[in-house]
Structure 1
Amino acid sequence: MSNKLRIGIIGTGGIAKAHISAYKKLPYVEIVGVADVIPSKAATFAETEGLTEAASFDSHNELLKLELDGVSICTPNVSHHITTVDALRAGKNVLLEKPMSVTLQEGIEMTQAAKESGKMLTLGFQPRYDPNMKLLQTIVQSGRLGNVYYVETGGGRRRGMPGGTFISKKLAGAGAMADIGCYSLDMALNTLGYPRPLTVSAFTSNHFGSNNIYHPEASNFEVEDFGVAMVRFENDLVLQFKISWAMHMDTLGATMFLGTDAGLKVTPAGIGPWSGVWDGSVGSITLFHDEFGAHTATPIPTIEHKLNLFDQKVHDFAEAVRDGRPAPIPGDQILIQQAIIDGVLRSAESRREVSVELPQ
């Protein structure tokens, strides 16, 4: 019997290729099985990816009968809940691609399954592994800003609307909010230490996605391509959250942390119509403060690196399984942002402020 970690892959779309590429770089990992609900797709995928020793299945439950240390779940959003719960109950550790789930209740059930099984549920937010994201957290949590009372986050693509399963309400649950908004929320909330939200007041629209001038699948476009929300948290903290897949504008602005002693302004890296959101790295960091009575702006040097952030998240999961560490990005944390997204959609639909519902 090999001493290597035995990993399975559930879902064989494009994102699964990135997981396999990352796992292949770890000498202590072997991919022993792949599964996809489309008949024969898993077998074809395994052959294409050079997984000659891996078994293939048309059902994730058949895969879960194997002796596995962990699984990567790379399915469409609608399948995240059932595959995660089944994997945890089968005694497998789980690395789940974002977003967490389609509904808040599904997310609650997923975190409960992790607690009951004693297995790890970690979420795939690779921007956390950028040293500059860690630097932001260090700055804010050092107390340099004083009491942080207002945060503005989110981003906008001039054009960057996906299609297929991403635009189906039934399959995706939400549009830009879940696809790229979850990165913006994690960037801000993780920096702040994931405070507890209380209420949300939001607006969403899909003026671009539903217009065949801008999207080839306009007749099938069922989710939001733009959203904005004001979120109230405990301790008199408010967050303005805005996100866009498409717009007639170059940017929705920087992320800002306003504190009683100083403020922090952060811009995303990248250029082009698909940039401007927090699914990648940091472009610039500036500290605004008063020194000797003068308004002062101090650039914070960003950290240069050549890390493959996607590889980092997969490797961290594998190492956590191997070493018996807790989940690197625990489901309990991401459930908080899932509750915010749920609140955004409920508020937008009802056109009023709603309470954020989280289990105690």
Structure 2
Amino acid sequence: MGRMFRIGIIGSGGIAGEHARAYKNIEDVQIVGVADILPGRADQFIERWGLKDAVGFDDHRRLLELDLDGVSICTPNVAHYQTTVDALRAGKHVMLEKPMSVTLEEAAEMVRASKETGNMLNVGFQPRYDPNMGMIKDLVQSGQLGKVYYVETGGGRRRGMPGGTFIRQDIAGAGAMADIGCYSLDLALNTLGYPKPLTVSAYTSNYFGTNPKYHGESSKFDVEDFGVAIIRFEGDLVLNFKTSWAMHMDTLGATMFLGTDAGLKVTPAGTGPWSGVWDGRVGSISMFHDIQGHHTESSIPLVHHQLNVFEEKIKDFVRALREGTTAPIPGEQILRNQAILDGILRSSLTKREVEIQVD
């Protein structure tokens, strides 16, 4: 076996376990350290996951003193900024869980730190690794739709509100928009080549989360559980974006790309109250076009696969470490995703359209 790639994990909550599982399945990777702000929690994580070569810390800065090739950052959203910047400036490559940060200013500083240090900032959007997501992008980028002028995307759970750190603005920064909405945005924006956003007009509410009839932690709930926005981009393109943790409806509709020559309709896979969002698999893809003057709908066969897209995300990060290449999902790209989320929250607060300043 060649050299081992040494990995640290910052934050030892639920998502950190998925990172540990994925790393353990890669032959030339060794998890050598785990940090969590709660005393003893890192050691418990190490024992639970059988990480016999790892050391536990209650301060991530001590973890960063180790000889590490990369770190996975799995903290609550509010800690993404500081841990990422500290890791980059300590000479480590970063695999960061979504959403990128709490504020746009934080995201911009994280990207700046990556550029200044030359260390990778990779952001975790695992749905990209579904081959069907790649096929959607290829179809749109091929030009078969003509000029794409309107896109509609978003995920709607009939009832699927998390609790704990997800529902506190001081920790999460935002609710449904940041938790599941960022996936919908990445689906649309990655497919389009991440165009530059210009303005956003948005509305958000939290009628369900703050109602004890629907949520057991309603007294602590101070983020949005529903949101909708119209976003304008360079190139005369508009995006209708909507997302929901809870609503009295079965769906907020399919994702659609309308072009001058054809349209593409995409639905998510899954059933039940927690489904209907773009953190999972593709359910169907259809193209609407004219053939010899006839309105035609073509069902595009899905790629059936058994890939664990979360593991594929981690494998791609390790591949970039191994080969010395750039981040598979670079922070400077996701900065535009974060800018839109920031604009949505500003617009909903001021109840007017706002400009998006990015790049």
Q: Which TM bucket (shorter chain)? A: over 0.9
1:38 maps to what in 2? 38
Q: Give the Cα separation in 1 of the matches to 2:346 and 2:40.
A: 39
Deviations 1:15-34 (A, max 9, x none): 01100100011110000000
Determine whether 1:346 maps to 2:346.
Answer: yes
Deviations 1:249-292 (A, max 9, x none): 00000000000000000000111100000001100000000011
1:14 maps to what in 2? 14
Which secondary structure does the structure 1 equivalent of 2:272 belong to? coil
1:72 maps to what in 2? 72
Deviations 1:83-130 (A, max 9, x none): 000000000000000000000000000000000110000001000000
Q: Give the Cα separation in 1 of the matches to 2:155 and 2:60.
A: 35
1:193 maps to what in 2? 193
Q: Give the Cα separation in 2 of the matches to 1:356 and 1:282.
A: 30
Matches within 5 A, 1:145-184: 145-184=145-184
Corresponding letter in the other structure for 1:130: D
Q: Give the Cα separation in 2 of the matches to 1:347 and 1:143.
A: 33
Q: Give the Cα separation in 1 of the matches to 2:54 and 2:278.
A: 35
2:61 maps to what in 1? 61
Corresponding letter in the other structure for 1:183: Y
2:248 maps to what in 1? 248
2:270 maps to what in 1? 270
Per the TM alignment, residue 52 of structure 1 is displaced from its structure 2 partner at its CA by 1.4
Number of matched residues? 359
Q: Give the Cα separation in 2 of the matches to 1:44 and 1:20.
A: 13
Q: Give the Cα separation in 2 of the matches to 1:114 and 1:227.
A: 31
Determine whether 1:227 maps to 2:227.
Answer: yes
Deviations 1:30-76 (A, max 9, x none): 00000000011101110111011211101000000000000000000
Corresponding letter in the other structure for 2:321: V
1:98 maps to what in 2? 98
Which secondary structure does the structure 1 equivalent of 2:31 belong to? strand
Q: Give the Cα separation in 2 of the matches to 1:283 and 1:49.
A: 33
2:114 maps to what in 1? 114
Corresponding letter in the other structure for 1:210: T
2:303 maps to what in 1? 303
Corresponding letter in the other structure for 2:34: V
Which secondary structure does the structure 2 equivalent of 1:180 belong to? helix
Per the TM alignment, residue 357 of structure 1 is displaced from its structure 2 partner at its CA by 1.3
Corresponding letter in the other structure for 1:71: V
Q: Give the Cα separation in 2 of the matches to 1:276 and 1:199.
A: 27
Give the TM-score, by structure 2 length. Answer: 0.99
Which secondary structure does the structure 2 equivalent of 1:235 belong to? coil
Corresponding letter in the other structure for 1:140: V
Deviations 1:122-155 (A, max 9, x none): 0010000000000000000000000000000001
Q: Give the Cα separation in 2 of the matches to 1:45 and 1:166.
A: 21
Corresponding letter in the other structure for 1:301: P
> Which consecutive unaligned segments of at least 5 residues does structure 1 have?
none
**RMSD value, Cα:** 0.9
1:335 maps to what in 2? 335
Q: Give the Cα separation in 1 of the matches to 2:128 and 2:242.
A: 20
- Sequence identity (%): 68
Determine whether 1:128 maps to 2:133.
Answer: no
Q: Give the Cα separation in 2 of the matches to 1:218 and 1:6.
A: 42
Give the TM-score, by structure 1 length. Answer: 0.99
Q: Give the Cα separation in 2 of the matches to 1:138 and 1:342.
A: 29
Which secondary structure does the structure 2 equivalent of 1:329 belong to? coil
Q: Give the Cα separation in 2 of the matches to 1:302 and 1:51.
A: 38
Deviations 1:208-231 (A, max 9, x none): 000000000001000000000000
Which secondary structure does the structure 1 equivalent of 2:154 belong to? strand
Q: Give the Cα separation in 1 of the matches to 2:301 and 2:226.
A: 32
> Which consecutive unaligned segments of at least 5 residues does structure 2 have?
none
Determine whether 1:213 maps to 2:227.
Answer: no
1:312 maps to what in 2? 312
Q: Give the Cα separation in 2 of the matches to 1:322 and 1:93.
A: 12
Corresponding letter in the other structure for 1:264: L
Corresponding letter in the other structure for 1:177: M
Q: Give the Cα separation in 2 of the matches to 1:74 and 1:102.
A: 14
